Structure 1
């Protein structure tokens, strides 16, 4: 499905509202002056308030990108498009749901 490319400056949150920072490993390809995000990049969450009954804290810490663009790559890896296919995980690797992309660049679209 076509969509705008995600980049390191995209505004994203975990399913519980904590900010998610995309750490782009390869700064060679940029859009809007920011490195393009690819499937192998880290998505780090800071300050997630989620706890399970007990109460045991299970904050979102990382994001695993599942799929990227089918036809566009950067440094040999598929680029990430919005809407992204991803899941946020706690430290115990418990899935918490998909991240929410609130804003990204809109000029470059990939399929």
Structure 2
């Protein structure tokens, strides 16, 4: 079954999921490419700690996307090779068959 939002997920993003921290710093999994919808523009959000922070980009992915933890790194090669940190993530699953569910991340 295809997602009814698939036609909007056209921008390739490079995702390195956060896997933990060692004495040498944060560790990340190998990079994977995931297609999503990218929206740029500063907006005020709450991060995982409940603090107000400014997000510089908002990316929407299909609802079946595996969790992209806070502190993961994402780059949008078509826009810039600069990696940005994930400051918030959230699945939007209404549980209703006729609603377009999706998964979002916000970047610093």
TM over 0.5: no
- Which structure shows the bigger proportion of residues in strand conformation? 2
* TM-score of the two chains, using structure 2 as the length reference: 0.30
Give the structure, 1 or 2, with the largest relative contact order (CA under 8 Å, sep 6 or more).
Answer: 1
